[in-house]
Amino acid sequence: MVDHLANTEINSQRIAAVENCFGASGQPLALPGRVLLGEGILTKECRKKPKPRIFFLFNDILVYGSIILNKRKYNSQHIIPLEDVTLETLPDTLQMKNRWMIKTSKKSFVVSAASLTERKEWISHLEECIKHLLTKTGRQPCREHAAPWIPDKATDICMRCTHTKFSTLTRRHHCRKCGFVVCADCSRHRFLMPRLSPKPLRVCNLCYRQLLAEEKKEAEADRRQVEPICSAVQGYEPSSGDDSDKSDDDKAEHWPADTEFYTSEVSWSSFHS
């Protein structure tokens, strides 16, 4: 199907129509060999509430955006390379059915289709395109994925300290590492995670300690690799700069794994509504 449609006039017209719907706010989508395979409206689980979004499946990218006028105008265009995508089917909830998660290294989120058949078709086409791309490029499937943000309404208390209650004055925040909904006191730190952003991002206290430990471990491993080289060089003296570890008096929280959230590796004790 892709080979049949590539570089055809009808495919060019379809892609031009999508570009026109996004207007000046969208990026150009036409590329040699790129084919528009399908489109549809899916419900995306957003921070505040589920919202309808338009999705366009190309043979190499997935594009989605907000709906202003259906079939006529969209904005907030997002482009996801399919080589970076991993899919995970999810169980139904009371609010949303036919759910699955789209996981990438920079952002992961949950969507739902209008029917089980529609979900199967979306997943089938996505997996086929991903498999074809990985075979073509020789790349391995992405192993590291950004944590999905837990919706605000999933809890009315901080998921770390479990005693701060959210209100109009006490804001909810999201840890960029685990996706938990946390209070300001439990997310005062920021940490540079180049895979997600060139700027330091807000993280909860627990993830901050874990990230510091990982960073220290990596630095120690690098030091052990350099030491044999330095000792072999006559007259080499290492830098006299002192490294100081930041102290953190927060107590580590331990969450029982009774409830799985999004059937992923992140779990906590219970949901609060």
Which amino acid, one-letter code, is at 259?
T
SS (H, E, C) 208-249: HHHHHHHHHHHHHHHHHHHHHHHHHCCCCCCCCCCCCCCCCC
Averaged over 109-121, what is the pLDDT? 96
pLDDT digits (tens, 9 = 90+) for 230-262: 565 555 444 434 444 444 444 444 444 444 455
Rounded CA separation 170/29 (Å): 42
Write the CB contacts of 61 (distance below 8 Å, at least 6 apart in sequence): 29, 34, 79, 80, 81, 82
Q: How many CB atoms lie within 10 A of CB 248?
A: 12
* Bigger pLDDT: 224 vs 162: 162
Rounded CA separation 167/194 (Å): 32
DSSP three-state, residue 122: helix
Contact between 19 and 26 (Cβ < 8 Å): yes
Rounded CA separation 28/18 (Å): 10
85-89, 213-217, 231-235 — which is least confidently predicted? 231-235
Domains and CATH numbers, the chain: 9-145 (2.30.29.30), 149-224 (3.30.40.10)
Look at residue 85 in the predicted model and tell me its pLDDT.
95
pLDDT digits (tens, 9 = 90+) for 156-210: 999 999 999 999 899 999 999 999 999 999 999 999 998 888 999 999 999 999 9
- pTM (global) more than 0.85: no
Q: Residues 43-55, buried b or exposed e (16+ Cβ, 10 A)?
A: bbbeeeebeebbb
pLDDT-derived band at 266 (thresholds 50, 70, 90) equals very low
Look at residue 6 in the predicted model and tell me its pLDDT.
75
Name the residue with tokens 């770390």.
160
* Alpha-carbon dihedral 44, 134, 58, 38, rounded to 10 degrees: -70
Please determine, for residue 7, whether its predicted confidence score (pLDDT) is greater than 80: no
Averaged over 216-238, what is the pLDDT? 69
Averaged over 118-145, what is the pLDDT? 91
Could you tell me which residues are beta bridge partners of residue 188? none
pLDDT digits (tens, 9 = 90+) for 27-84: 999 999 999 999 999 999 998 899 999 999 999 999 999 999 988 999 999 999 999 9
